[in-house]
Amino acid sequence: MHDLTLYVDQAWTSPYAMSVYVTLLEKKLPFQVEKIDLDRGDNLMPPYRDLGLTGRVPTLVHRADGESPFVLAESSAIVDYLEERFGAPDHAHVLPRDLRQRAQARQVQAWLRSDLLPIRSERSTIGVFVERIETPLSVHAQAAAQRLIRIAERLVDGPDLFDAWCIADTELALMLNRLILNGDPVPQKLKDYAAGQWQRASVQAWVRQPRTLSAA
């Protein structure tokens, strides 16, 4: 018997919480959602501050019969844990089975988390999930957008990055949608890719959550 609880931001705008949420849905794992109000600083105070290592969202709590409760933060670590713990044949995979493709998917995930800061800052996920951001991109953000587009054009050659959908597709589509959904120029090929990825049921389940303003 497994009991899984995912802590997300109250506003449902965290791209990192989204990644874990989509992973849990793709694996058809039953789970509870607990919402943490980041605007109120609830993550900086007990009990949430001390639940996991970082006090950030997402955090996953996994209780299983005969095991001590397991608490994990950092979205890519959580996705990896779920992928290893809940694999085939009972659960779908969210990362490629092929070793090199899996490494490339993780490469995309790591890059999206560590680069493109001006895009994340000037095109927060409010512009993706709540309302369009009208402020023009700064010179720095335009340069970051050009880098994103150049690299994405090398990566994208069809509906999915690899032989089948993987969680890196959702993460890349989200990064592209920070530009696309705010009307920033993006080549049609990448718009088509992001639009296709956005139709995925697990992604739409996150997109359609009722939400209030918050940035991530």
* Residues lying near ligand GSH in the complex (CB under 6 A): 9, 14, 16, 38, 43, 56-58, 74-76, 113, 216
| Residues recorded for the chain | 216
Nearer to ligand GSH among residue 57 and residue 175 (C-beta): 57
* Structure tokens that stand for 42 in this block: 């609830």
Nearer to ligand GSH among residue 49 and residue 189 (C-beta): 49
Q: How far is the CB of 106 from ligand GSH (least distance, A)?
A: 13
Q: How far is the CB of 114 from ligand GSH (least distance, A)?
A: 9
Q: How far is the CB of 36 from ligand GSH (least distance, A)?
A: 8
> Which 3 state secondary structure label does DSSP give 32?
strand
In the bound state, the residue with its beta carbon closest to ligand GSH is: 56
Nearer to ligand GSH among residue 56 and residue 123 (C-beta): 56
Neighbouring residues of 155: CB distance < 8 A, sequence distance ≥ 6: 108, 161, 172
Q: How far is the CB of 58 from ligand GSH (least distance, A)?
A: 6
Neighbouring residues of 199: CB distance < 8 A, sequence distance ≥ 6: none
Q: How far is the CB of 100 from ligand GSH (least distance, A)?
A: 23
Nearer to ligand GSH among residue 26 and residue 74 (C-beta): 74
Q: How far apart are CA 203 and CA 41, in angstroms?
A: 27
Which DSSP state fits 44? G
Dmax over Cα atoms in the chain, in whole Å? 55
Q: How far apart are CA 124 and CA 38, in angstroms?
A: 15
Nearer to ligand GSH among residue 9 and residue 122 (C-beta): 9
Which DSSP state fits 1? -
CA neighbor of 200 nearest in space, from 22, 53, 28, 62: 22
Q: How far is the CB of 77 from ligand GSH (least distance, A)?
A: 8
Nearer to ligand GSH among residue 57 and residue 167 (C-beta): 57
